[in-house]
Amino acid sequence: MKRVIIFCFAHLLILFVNGQHRLEGVITDASGNHLTGANIVLKGEIRGTTSDLNGNFVFSSVKEGEHTLQVSYLGYKTLLKTIILKRDTSLLLVLERSSIMADEVIIKALRASEKDPLAYTNVDRDELHRVNTGNDIPFLLSLTPSLIATSETGTGIGYTALRIRGSDPTRINVTINGIPLNDSESQGAFWVDIPDFTASADNVQIQRGVGTSTNGAASFGGTINFQTAALNHDPYLEIRSTAGSFKTFKNSVKVGTGMIDEKFSFDARFSKILSDGYIKHTASNHTSFFLTGAWYSQKNLLRATVISGEEHTGISWWGVPDYMLETDRRYNPAGEYLNSEGDLKYYEDQKDNYWQTHYQLHFSREISQELIVNAALHYTRGTGYYEQYMDDENSYHSTLFYEYGLDSMFILNNDTILSSDLVRQKWLDNDFYGLVFSSTYTFGKTEASIGGGWNYYDGDHFGKILWVEKNNLVPKNHEWYFNTGRKSDWNIYAKLNYSLSNRLNAFADLQYRKIVYKMSGPDDDLTDLTQKHTFGFFNPKLGLHYTIHPGMTTFLSFSIGQREPTRSDFKDATGDEEATPKPEKLYDFEAGFSRSGQFLNLALNGYYMYYKDQLVPTGEKSNVGNDIMTNVDISYRAGIELQGALKISDRLIWDLNITLSSNKIKNFVEYATYYDENWNETYQSKELGKSDLAYSPSLVGSSRLAFKLFKGLELSLSTKYVGSQYFDNTSSDDRKLDPYHVTDLRIDYVVNPGWMKELGFQVQVNNLFNNLYISNAYGGNWYEQGEEKSWIYYFPQAGMHFLAGFYLKF
């Protein structure tokens, strides 16, 4: 046995060492000027690099044989060069100036670059489109580091959300082409409002931690920046169709003109998604379209984009109560009522309905080879409502007349009527518009950006009563409340990346942000919300990036991020000045190391995120599904993120990541209701000391094995693991979610028939091992005669289910 082991090890060593050569080169323009920061990729490999100050690049340990180098640089045509490598080789690669300004100018202005001292992940178009069989964006990104996706419907279609390093959606800044997607008041990004958006996305960058100012003014716990469809030089037509479990159907059509007269291009997409959902009465009916047109010249780019979505989704945020979980884990209490005969019925229109359209106009101009300016105007129109049947027999509903601004009672058949079954709608009607701008200067050792933006939100919240069973002349569409939110937000920043030497880069990013938020009018409980809040935040970021040698780098950074409370935070505290939420502040320390090679890419990031007055979820939700938050004085998140990509062979690649973390509140004070032996009620506090932050598991990991059986056929096995987590901050095992892991199997088969560009077939089996897990929950506690009790609502996920489809590219 010992000889066998030595023999195998020796042969493995020969495979890895024999035939390995050094490939290096210099990147210049036609005049012989060195190009710093050019991107060089070895096609078919798992690694890439950038050129240094003198235009040099190096790949060590490259195997013998044929290779294709892809070299790209802003303002120049992408170069593809095929070489036969037999020995150590040095190349001179000359790039030709592009005749048009490419869409990459917008990406470069917004994104973190390879030498920025940050933890980030890039997902390109091929990967986005490969996984896009129907699920919403959180599930398409779920294999990226430190990210957890959840679904209220249980299938990843409908209402979905994500967390990064435990940070909730209101602390994750999302932009599309640099334009904010987050709702200004709730500060969340509602993926259901942009169905099948991924089909029109070219790439996405996910930054963990505070992130750069260019990736969003309010970046705090994490940032996600999407870039929509870039230029396709050739005309195309793409048709996709998917069907699967729970009556899921997704169909889309994409079309593009390619370049017209070397000046214009137009692209369009239309999508339709239908699904019943795993949880009962959570059906989704979504429609979306995407339009974009661009004008190109050598020094100018003008692009107009329209993104529109319409969603109709069964209300799903109630969850499954704990007492129903064992008997019916698909149960949904939303919409249930008792008719006049006492029979249990379901109200069919218990749905959320929303229409949202984004308009963007981007302009970029090359002032000189060193200076590029970008500006964008944007406008988002949103309107919609959710409809509810309010059952007078349901103790969780309020149907008293006076609470709807009506006469408190009336006499009917000698009975005093105080309440009634009714149907109501709660509306949101809003406009969001603004301007963002930036200028990027690159010369020699310096890359600098100056930019900023101004945005304004104008939102109306109001409610209507459509029907009352016991009606005392209630006006049709009676409006029982109307309040407004007006929010202005401007920021300015300066970012600098300076090469102190050929290996060492210094980074600085300084931002100032000012917010004015006004609320006025009564809320749905007729409480007057009128108030005004003003905030000013200075957010500096500093760091160093060092290249140890080609393919091996390290970085260190420190950032400060600050964030204002949301509308819900202010609303929940209305009337209690002591409960008014405070803005939260984050001190973010990051360090990282990365190594790229022919067979192994490795990245290790460490972080310590120290919070002052962090707003944390209490574990409870409002009547519209928002987390109820509270400030805690001192808290922190500390962790290690490990990423790896192993090329086992030309046919087998293994991608994996794991995050180990500790997420704590230094001294948490619990507030709960107490009942004594006589059922007298009091509200008391109790110091719990150090406790775990809610929704922050200490272990998160994912793995993907991709195996190419033969040309055109790929099989992949993906696994996501999420450790145990608490859904409140008490660290009580009664309010803890069990760890879970879910494995998906995917088969992709692509052929290239002569009559079309590509024909593809896809089959995806989700939750292959039928693991009946729960990804999310909410609840709280109370005390009876000293004994702690819990109330809990869960969000179970579907067992094994599938999606299958095909696409045609012309």
- Tell me how far apart the terminal alpha carbons of the chain are, to the nearest angstrom: 56
pLDDT score of 19: 56
**Number of structural domains in the chain:** 2
pLDDT score of 624: 65
Q: Are 397 and 391 in contact (CB under 8 A)?
A: yes
- Secondary element (H or E) of residue 115: none
Q: Distance of CA 717 to CAs 25, 307, 576, 704, 708, Å?
A: 37, 33, 52, 6, 12
pLDDT score of 191: 94
Strand partners, 56: 26
Torsion angles phi and psi, residue 574, rounded to 5: -60, 130
What is the distance between the alpha carbons of residues 115 and 544, in angstroms, rounded to a whole number? 9
Both tokens assigned to 208: 């963990």
pLDDT score of 516: 97
Q: Are 663 and 692 in contact (CB under 8 A)?
A: yes
Both tokens assigned to 168: 């909730």
What is the distance between the alpha carbons of residues 443 and 441, in angstroms, rounded to a whole number? 7
**Would you say residue 181 lies in a domain?**
no
Q: Are 241 and 250 in contact (CB under 8 A)?
A: yes
pLDDT score of 26: 87
Q: Is the pLDDT of residue 10 over 60?
A: no
Q: Which amino acid is at 170?
A: T
Strand partners, 324: none
Encode pLDDT of 600-633 as tens digits: 899 999 999 999 999 988 877 766 667 788 899 9
pLDDT score of 618: 80
**Would you say residue 33 lies in a domain?**
yes
**Would you say residue 158 lies in a domain?**
no
pLDDT score of 76: 81
Domain boundary among 82, 97, 112: 97
In which region does residue 689 sit, left (phi positive, over 0), alpha (psi from -120 to 50) or beta (all else)?
A: left
What is the distance between the alpha carbons of residues 497 and 458, in angstroms, rounded to a whole number? 37
**Would you say residue 164 lies in a domain?**
no
**Would you say residue 205 lies in a domain?**
no
Encode pLDDT of 319-342 as tens digits: 999 999 999 999 999 999 888 788
Q: What's the average model confidence in pLDDT over 431-451? A: 92
pTM above 0.85, yes or no: yes
Q: What is the CATH number of the domain that holds 66?
A: 2.60.40.10
Encode pLDDT of 245-261 as tens digits: 999 999 999 999 999 99
What radius of gyration do the chain's Cα atoms show? 28
Q: What's the average model confidence in pLDDT over 192-216? A: 89
> What is the 3 state secondary structure string of 47-106?
CEEECCCCCEEEEEEEECEEEEEEEECCCECCEEEEEEECCCEEEEEEECECCCCCCHHH
pLDDT score of 9: 40
Mark out the alpha helices in 639-744 (DSSP H runs): none
Q: In the 8-state DSSP scheme, what is residue 258?
A: -
Q: What percent of the chain has pLDDT over 90?
A: 62
Helix (H, G, I), strand (E, B) or coil at 9: helix
Mean pLDDT of the chain: 89
Q: Distance of CA 386 to CAs 46, 328, 621, 808, Å?
A: 47, 25, 17, 37
Residues 6+ apart with CB under 8 A from 513: 217, 218, 489, 490, 491, 535, 536, 537, 539, 562
Strand partners, 308: 289, 357
**Would you say residue 785 lies in a domain?**
yes
pLDDT score of 510: 95
Domain boundary among 36, 63, 97: 97
- Shared domain check, 87 and 233: no
> Which of 499-508, 676-685, 789-798 has the weakest average pLDDT?
676-685
Q: Distance of CA 289 to CAs 225, 341, 437, 447, Å?
A: 20, 45, 26, 37
Q: What's the average model confidence in pLDDT over 177-185? A: 91
**Would you say residue 601 lies in a domain?**
yes
**Is the dihedral angle over the CA atoms 521, 524, 528, 529 positive or is it negative?**
negative
Beta strands (DSSP E) in 284-413 are: 284-296, 300-314, 320-321, 336-338, 344-346, 351-366, 371-390, 410-412
pLDDT score of 498: 93
Q: What's the average model confidence in pLDDT over 77-88? A: 83
Q: Are 431 and 379 in contact (CB under 8 A)?
A: yes
**Domain, as residue range, for 300:** 226-809
Q: What's the average model confidence in pLDDT over 133-158? A: 93
Q: Is the pLDDT of residue 5 over 70?
A: no
pLDDT score of 674: 92
Q: In the block, which residue shows the tokens 């400060």?
A: 560
Encode pLDDT of 59-69 as tens digits: 877 888 888 88
- Shared domain check, 232 and 92: no
Q: Are 173 and 456 in contact (CB under 8 A)?
A: no
Beta strands (DSSP E) in 648-698 are: 652-675, 681-692
> What is the 3 state secondary structure string of 553-602?
EEEEEEEEEEECCCHHHHHHCCCCHHHCCCCEEEEEEEEEEEEECCCEEE
What is the distance between the alpha carbons of residues 202 and 190, in angstroms, rounded to a whole number? 20
| Confidence band of 74 (pLDDT split at 50, 70, 90) | confident
Q: Are 485 and 475 in contact (CB under 8 A)?
A: no
| Confidence band of 564 (pLDDT split at 50, 70, 90) | very high
| Confidence band of 15 (pLDDT split at 50, 70, 90) | very low
**Would you say residue 138 lies in a domain?**
no
pLDDT score of 17: 43
Both tokens assigned to 315: 């209300």
pLDDT score of 395: 62
Q: In the block, which residue shows the tokens 């408190």?
A: 408
Q: Is the pLDDT of residue 471 over 60?
A: yes
Helix (H, G, I), strand (E, B) or coil at 627: strand
- Shared domain check, 230 and 86: no
pLDDT score of 396: 65
31 CB burial (10 A radius; 0-12, 13-18, 19+): exposed
Q: What is the CATH number of the domain that holds 420?
A: 2.40.170.20
Q: Which of 214-228, 383-397, 569-583, 698-712 has the highest mean pLDDT?
A: 698-712
Q: Is the pLDDT of residue 407 over 90?
A: no
Torsion angles phi and psi, residue 8, rounded to 5: -65, -40
- CA 742 and chain centroid, separation: 20
Domain boundary among 63, 81, 97: 97
Single out the residue of 733, 650, 750 nearest to residue 692, CA to CA.
733
What is the distance between the alpha carbons of residues 731 and 698, in angstroms, rounded to a whole number? 13
pLDDT score of 131: 85
> How many residues belong to the chain?
810
